[in-house]
């Protein structure tokens, strides 16, 4: 249930209403917009009569939220959320571009790539230190050593770090050094991990599971937000269908759908979404045209020798060309890159 207050409602009266709501055993999520304040009622509202609040003269209207996700629902916060990270933002007028290798392989590799993607216009450095792989015999990442190398690259370039967490056992290390903690597709419904991330203030990049519905994806975001962390960035990275030509089927319709249903920013990973390097450019263009708030693109200085996902990685030169092409397209959507 949400309560939309009238413009210019006195703060004292708002506080009194919040106290009344808490008095009947409900939590209150307050969203203050430029013109209106909205109160989101969290808890069992089945037995709550809307008329009780409609009679209050500072209340404009009362609505019941049918969807199971509450805090992530755009009804709770009509204005889109902008997640701010180390001077950069995701969800604002400027498209957020996260670029870097699938996996950190060496100090020279990650620093060289960081410099090049930064020069091309990327705002964030993505790199995997802990790699979930389908085969136990595949390269699993450098672990904590990989995190240390990402830290070096950050010091060298000033770029905020995006990296994937797999186990809450290393959470302290991530909180200390990683600017955006990525939850991969395989961990999207690791609810124990999501609850731990909900206790933090560090932004969370939540990738859609490869067999998850949009509602299930938003419910995973709800787990984190319910714990108190509302700095969530959603990432569409393709879902599994019967098609085998591409690695996954990039669900482009999910972008406008999620932005209609939720206030959370949505970015797209065209690298994992297609698995084919030459498809990254057209997929990126489509994502920007459909309203994505950013992109996550894999870049490797020598894709043919990459220890992980070389087929979908761009060279720094290819990445720079795509960035140049995306600029005018972003302008058509009233944004910049």
**What is the helix, strand, coil percentage profile of the chain, to 5?**
40, 20, 40
* Helix or strand holding residue 125 (H, E): strand 124-126
Which residue spans within 143-184 are E strands per DSSP? 161-165, 180-183
Domain spanning 2-63, CATH class: alpha beta
Q: What angle do CA 328, 266, 334 make, to 5 degrees?
A: 30
Residue 313: pLDDT band by 50, 70, 90 thresholds? Answer: very high
pLDDT tens sequence across 56-103: 999 999 988 888 898 999 998 888 999 999 889 999 999 999 999 999
pLDDT tens sequence across 215-233: 999 999 999 999 999 999 9
Helices (H), 262-301: 270-274, 277-289
Has domain 83-332 been given CATH number 1.10.760.10? no
**Rounded CA separation 50/54 (Å):** 6
Residue 281: pLDDT band by 50, 70, 90 thresholds? Answer: very high
Residue 44: pLDDT band by 50, 70, 90 thresholds? Answer: confident
**Rounded CA separation 56/60 (Å):** 9
DSSP H helix total and E strand total for the chain: 11, 14
Instruction: Name the 3-class secondary structure at 132.
Output: coil
pLDDT, position 32: 84
Average pLDDT over residues 143-159: 92
For the chain, give every domain's residue range.
2-63, 83-332
Instruction: Name the 3-class secondary structure at 280.
Output: helix
Average pLDDT over residues 125-139: 78
**Rounded CA separation 27/83 (Å):** 23
Closest CA to 298 of 114, 146, 98: 98
């Amino acid at each position: 249930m949400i309560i939309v207050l009238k413009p210019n409602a006195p703060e004292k009266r708002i506080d009194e209403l919040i106290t009344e709501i808490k008095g009947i055993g409900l939590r209150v999520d307050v969203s203050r917009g430029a013109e209106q304040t909205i109160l989101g009622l969290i808890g069992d509202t089945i037995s709550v009569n809307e008329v009780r609040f409609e009679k209050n003269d500072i209340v404009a209207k009362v609505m019941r939220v049918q969807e199971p996700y509450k805090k992530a629902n755009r009804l709770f916060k009509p204005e889109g959320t902008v997640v701010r990270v180390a001077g950069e933002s995701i969800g604002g007028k400027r498209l957020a571009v996260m670029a870097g290798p699938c996996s950190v392989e060496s100090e020279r590799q990650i620093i060289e790539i960081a410099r090049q993607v930064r020069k091309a216009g990327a705002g964030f450095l993505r790199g995997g230190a802990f790699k979930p792989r389908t085969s136990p015999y595949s390269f699993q990442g450098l672990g904590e050593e990989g995190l240390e190398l990402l830290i070096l690259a950050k010091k060298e370039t000033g770029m905020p770090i995006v990296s994937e967490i797999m186990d809450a056992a290393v959470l302290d290390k991530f909180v200390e050094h990683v600017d955006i903690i990525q939850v991969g597709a395989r961990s999207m419904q690791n609810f124990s991990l999501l609850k731990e991330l909900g206790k933090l203030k560090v932004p969370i990049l939540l990738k859609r599971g490869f067999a998850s519905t949009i509602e299930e994806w938003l419910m995973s975001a709800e787990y984190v937000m319910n714990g108190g962390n509302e700095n969530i960035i959603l990432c569409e990275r393709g879902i599994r269908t019967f098609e085998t030509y591409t690695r996954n089927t990039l669900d482009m319709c999910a972008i406008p759908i999620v932005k209609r249903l939720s206030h959370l920013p949505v970015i797209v990973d065209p690298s994992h979404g297609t698995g084919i390097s030459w498809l990254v450019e057209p997929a990126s263009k489509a994502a920007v045209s459909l309203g994505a708030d950013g992109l996550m693109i894999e870049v490797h200085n020598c894709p043919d020798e990459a220890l992980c996902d070389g087929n979908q990685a761009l060279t720094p030169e290819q990445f720079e060309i795509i960035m140049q092409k995306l600029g005018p397209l972003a302008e058509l959507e009233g944004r910049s890159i």
